[in-house]
A and B are shown apart, each in its own frame.
Chain A
Amino acid sequence: MGPLIPNGVIPYEWNNIIAILIGIFFGFILEASGFSSSRKLAGVFYGYDFAVLKVFFTAALVALIGILYMDYLGYLNMEQLYIHPTYLWGAIIGGVIMGVGFVAAGFCPGTSLCAVAIGKIDAIVYVIGIMIGIFIFSELYTVFEPIYNGYFEGNITLMDSLGVNRYWFAFIFTIIAIVAFAASDMIRKRVKKIFY
């Protein structure tokens, strides 16, 4: 039956409309749960607030377990889902750059736009920084191209590269997540409380 749009359950023309609706809800929930505050986001790195870790880890787990169940019951064909291609060194270097930006500014690209929407000045500066970064990348594209297009590994998943059964992978991943949640709670209790 699913995915709904590729299999024609929902007409293809609805694609963008549904994307916009999902985007609006995503932005709303990000803002409502306080993710437009750079202090809350940076809390992960200083150990006084682990909401980011918990929220995103939980979201990934819910999606993973939900998709596996739906695939098992035949509501969703997992083979039709999009798997993001892996460009190994591009992903590593890009990840490091983004991580540094995340610690320094306290935003990731999505939450920064969310914060711009409610008029935060640090977020506006951050978004200007993103634009400058995009400009530099585009101008020097010929220099970066070997990394950008190289080290291509195909549309692989962790289950492919580790060679683990996907159900066992989901189970182990869940355990890791719960351990991480418990550990983060313990760390938070030891760190001095910060009010923001």
Chain B
Amino acid sequence: MVNRKTAKFLSFRYTILAIIFVVLAGGLVLLPKYEKHEGIDPGELLSNAVSPERYISTDELAHKIIGQDPSFLLIDVRSEDEFNKYTLPNAINITLKNLLDEDSLTYLDQSQYDVVLFSNDNFYADQAWILGNRLNYKNLKVLKGGINNWYKTIINPPIPTENMAAQEFDLYAFRKSASMFFGVVYPEQIKVVKKPVVKKVIPKKVIPIKKKKKMPVEGGC
């Protein structure tokens, strides 16, 4: 049996529950407010940053450009001068400063295209990637090694030495043909047009031999 004190206490149980409710709800109002950070969780950002999947190699990119893959956008994050001097085909220039402008958001904050960021090295592109990824922009990738690596591997690929594996030769063949696509001309490509030695055919002189006409026998005996 419940003793008298407990029974007295329990008769107030609904009042007590109501007070607990009010205190909890009031606590919500009185709690110190703080600004929640925009974008993804820091831990998630870190695991994305460590993942090698965020890089695209120059070979893969070359393959995509040559195959006229429509599913990606190339974004050059270098300054405008550098962009005007040299850039990859069909690249768009969004400098690191203008990365979070409203105009650039149409390119970066979308889910249709893969976005490939690049700079001279991957240094600035990485910074742009971090900024974008933190704001939860999807499909951002960084060109591994940037334009420098592009130049080293695609435009001017190192010739493999004889003792290298067959794969190296295959890779070289791909890179070489890719560089030809991007306008590099190799010495063996230049055709030296040799003039064929034409023997002069000396036309034979036709010397007509006059046939002696048989003279009709004159006279007669």
Evaluate contact between A65 and B25: CB separation under 8 angstroms. yes
Q: Which residue of B lies closest to A177 (CB)?
A: B21
B215 at the interface (CB under 8 A from A): no
Q: Assess whether B31 is in contact with A65, with CB atoms less than 8 Å apart.
A: no
Interface size on B, residues (CB 8 A): 10
A147 interface hit (Cβ, 8 Å)? no
CA distance A173 to B14 in the complex (A): 17
> Complex formed: what's the CA distance from A126 to B172 in Å?
77
Q: A68, A167, A178: which contacts B22 (Cβ < 8 A)?
A: A178
B residues in contact with A174, CB < 8 Å: 21-22, 24-25
Q: Is A65 touching B29 in the complex (CB atoms < 8 A)?
A: no
Q: B28 interface residue, CB < 8 Å from A?
A: yes
B18 touches A (CB below 8 Å): yes
Interface residues of A in 137-182 (CB under 8 A from B): 167-168, 170-171, 173-175, 177-178, 181
A72 in contact with B31 (CB, 8 Å): yes
Chain B residues near A171: list those with CB within 8 A: 25-26, 28-29
The answer to whether the Cβ of A69 comes within 8 Å of any Cβ in the partner chain is yes
Contacts of B21 in A (CB 8 A): 61, 65, 174, 177-178
Measured CA separation A171–B22 after assembly (Å): 7
List chain A residues, Cβ under 8 A from B22: 174-175, 178
- Shortest A189–chain B CB gap in Å is 14
Which residues in B have their C-beta under 8 angstroms from that of A168? 29
Contact B18 A181 (CB under 8 A): yes
CB distance from B28 to the nearest CB of A (A): 4
Question: Which chain A residues lie closer than 8 Å to B25 at the CB level?
Answer: 61, 65, 170-171, 173-175
A65 near B18 with CB under 8 A, answer: no
Query: What's the least CB distance linking A1 to chain B, in Å?
Result: 9
B138 to chain A minimum Cβ distance, whole angstroms, is 16
Q: Which A-chain residue is minimally distant from B19 (CB atoms)?
A: A178
Interface range on chain A: under 10, 10 to 19, 20 to 34, or 35 or more? 10 to 19
A46-72 vs B, Cβ < 8 Å mask (1 yes, 0 no): 000000000000000100010011001
A181 to chain B, nearest CB (A): 7
Please indicate the chain B residues that have their CB under 8 angstroms from the CB of A61 in the complex: 21, 25
Say yes or no: B18 contacts A167, CB within 8 Å: no
| Chain B residues with CB under 8 A of A173 | 25
Question: Which residues on the A side are within 8 Å of B31 (C-beta)?
Answer: 72, 167
User: What separation, in Å, do the CA atoms of A181 and B18 have in the docked complex?
Assistant: 9
Distance of A61 Cα from B14 Cα, bound (Å): 15
A178: which B residues are within 8 A, CB to CB?
Answer: 18, 21-22
Q: With the chains together, A91 CA to B31 CA distance in Å?
A: 35
Complex CA distance for A72 and B28, rounded to whole angstroms: 9
0/1 string, B9-40, CB within 8 A of A gives 1: 00000100010011011101101000000000
Q: Which residues of chain B in 168-193 are interfacial with respect to chain A, using CB atoms and an 8 Å cutoff?
A: none
CA–CA, A168 and B25, complex, Å: 8
B residues within 8 A CB of A72?
A: 28, 31
Q: Could you tell me which A residues sit within 8 Å of B by CB distance? A: 61, 65, 68-69, 72, 167-168, 170-171, 173-175, 177-178, 181
Would you list 11 pairs from A and B whose C-beta atoms are within 8 A, ordered by A residue?
Answer: A61-B21, A69-B24, A167-B31, A168-B29, A170-B25, A171-B25, A171-B28, A171-B29, A173-B25, A177-B21, A178-B21
Apart from A171-B25, A174-B22, A175-B22, list 5 A-B contacts with CB within 8 A. Answer: A61-B21, A61-B25, A72-B31, A167-B28, A178-B22
List of 5 A-B pairs having minimum Cβ-Cβ separation, nearest first: A174-B25, A167-B28, A171-B25, A167-B29, A178-B18
